[in-house]
Amino acid sequence: MLKNKNILLGVCGSIASYKSASLTRLLVKAGANVKIIMTSEATNFITPLTLSTLSKNPVLVNYYDPESGVWNNHVELGLWADLTIIAPASANTLAKLANGLCDNLLSAAYLSAKCPVYFAPAMDLDMWKHPATQKNIDTLISNGNILIKPAYGELASGLIGEGRMAEPEEIIEFVSEEIKKKLPLRGKLALVTAGPTYEAIDPVRFIGNHSSGKMGFAIAEELSALGADVTLITGPTSLKLSDPKIHRIDITSAHEMLKASEKAFPKSAVAILSAAVADYRPAEVSDVKIKKDDSDLSLNLVKTVDILATLGKEKKAGQILVGFALETNNEEENAIAKLRKKNLDFIVLNSLRDEGAGFKNDQNKVTIIDNKLSKESFPLKSKKEVAIDICKKVLDLLS
C-alpha cells in the first residue's frame, strides 16, 4: 500500500521520538519516499543525522538554512506529500495544529497539505486526558485528520495508562489499511491470465509461442494496487511477482488454464485474459521421446477449447471480461470480430507490425476498443503504463 508513496513524516518533541527511527526505516522498506520535518524540540531527543541517514533525504527543521542559503518551502512540501504522518504528535503540536498556529516548518507544511494527515499522539496520562487535549483532538478529527490512537501501558513518568505512541509496526499497518479502504477495487475479485501455454508432443518436446507473460503480470500488479484480490493464472515463465498478495496459479497447457479459469471466473468482478493460449494441440501425445529418423514427422493437431469464448458464454451481468488480440493484418477488423464473437466488454489490440511492441519486449503499443466500438489508441509505452491504461478503462466501466 505504501510503495512509491510520497510520505511527509513530522517528528515532535517527545521521548517517543526515538521510535521515529524505526518508523522511518519501515516506511523506506515498504517502498515509500520519505521526507522528514522535525520540530526544534524533537532534535533534543533524536538527531536529524539519524533520520536523514534512514530516510535518505535531508531532514528539515527550519524555514531557512543560513549555511546553505536554502529556503524550505512549506507549500511545496505540503503539495509533494501523498500523505502526512505526525508521529510522535506532542500535546503542544496538537494544540498548534488544531488552532491553526503557524510558528514552525511542520505546522506550516500541515496547513499547506492537500493530502490525508495521520497523527499519533504521545504524552503522559494526565496530559492525554486533559479536556484541552481532547478538544484539540476532536477538532483535528473534525477537520478530516486521522487519529492513530495511543496505546495503554507504562509511561515515561512511571504512570500506567493511555498516552504511549503506537508502535511503528502498528502505524504502518493502520495507515496501510486506511489506504486500502479507499482503493476503487477493494473487495472485488479479479482474474488475470498470462504467458504462453505449452502443448506436449512427447515428454521432451512441445508446441508453444514467444509470450513472456510480462503484460499479464503488469496487469495483475496494477489491479492489486487498486485494491482487488487478484488470481493470476500463468503459463510457463521465469517472471516473479513483486506483490505477495496476488494468488498465483502456475499451469502448463491450455486445458489446465481452462480449468483454472472456469473455477476462478464465476466470483470474479473483472477478468482480463492476456495469455497467449495455444489454438491447437497434438491429437496424440507420445509417452516416450520420439526418436529422430530419416523420415519426416507429421503431427495431427486438434483445436483447444477457446477459454475467452467459454467465459464469454458464462459471463453474468456486471462482470467485466477483457480479451487481447495480437494481429498481423486487418487488425481492427479482426479485433472487432473477436470482441463481438466472444462477448467482451473491450478488447486490447496490438500488432506485430509495431516496432518495439509485442512478445518479449518491455513495451507495448495498444488500441482499446469497447463493445460500443469506441476506440482509443495509445503510443508505445512500458507494459506497466499500458497496464495502468487498461485498468483505467476497467474502472470507467465499473463506475
pLDDT in tens, 257-272: 999 999 999 999 999 9
> Can you give the pLDDT at residue 357?
57
Three-state SS for 320?
strand
Residues forming beta bridges with residue 147, ordered by sequence position: 119
pLDDT in tens, 82-95: 999 999 999 999 99
Confidence of residue 162 (pLDDT cuts 50, 70, 90): confident
pLDDT in tens, 318-332: 999 999 998 878 889
Q: All 3 cell numbers of residue 280?
A: 491447437
Burial class (CB in 10 A: 0-12, 13-18, 19+), 158: exposed
Confidence of residue 278 (pLDDT cuts 50, 70, 90): very high
**What is the percent of the chain with per-residue pLDDT over 70, rounded to a whole number?**
98
pLDDT score of 190 more than 90 = yes
In the annotation, is 99 catalytic? no
Mean pLDDT across 145-172: 89
> Can you give the pLDDT at residue 358?
61
Q: Is 324 annotated as a binding residue?
A: yes
pLDDT score of 283 more than 70 = yes
pLDDT score of 173 more than 90 = yes
Q: Is 124 annotated as a binding residue?
A: no
**What is the percent of the chain with per-residue pLDDT over 90, rounded to a whole number?**
81
Largest CA distance in the chain: 95
Q: Is 45 annotated as a binding residue?
A: no
Q: For 35-44, 121-130, 158-167, 240-249, which range has the lowest pLDDT when averaged over its residues?
A: 158-167
Q: Which strands sit side by side in the sheet containing 346-351, from one edge to the other?
A: 247-250, 229-234, 189-194, 270-273, 320-327, 346-351, 366-370, 375-377
Buried b (16+ CB within 10 A) or exposed e, 37-75: bbbebbbebbebeebbebbeeebbbeeeeeeeeeebebe
Domains of the chain, earliest start first = 6-181 (3.40.50.1950), 189-288+298-398 (3.40.50.10300)
Residues forming beta bridges with residue 207, ordered by sequence position: 199
234 vs 75, more confident: 234
Cα separation, 346 vs 331, whole angstroms:
15
Q: Is 56 annotated as a binding residue?
A: no
Q: All 3 cell numbers of residue 274?
A: 492476456
Q: Is 338 annotated as a binding residue?
A: yes
> Can you give the pLDDT at residue 147?
97
> Can you give the pLDDT at residue 360?
65
pLDDT score of 223 more than 60 = yes
Q: pTM for the complete prediction?
A: 0.78
- Whose cell is 507429421? That residue is 298
pLDDT in tens, 364-389: 999 999 999 999 999 999 999 999 99
Mean pLDDT comparison of 63-72, 122-131, 157-166, 229-238, highest-scoring range? 229-238
Catalytic residue of the set 6, 73, 92, 209: 209
> Can you give the pLDDT at residue 359?
65
> Can you give the pLDDT at residue 356?
62
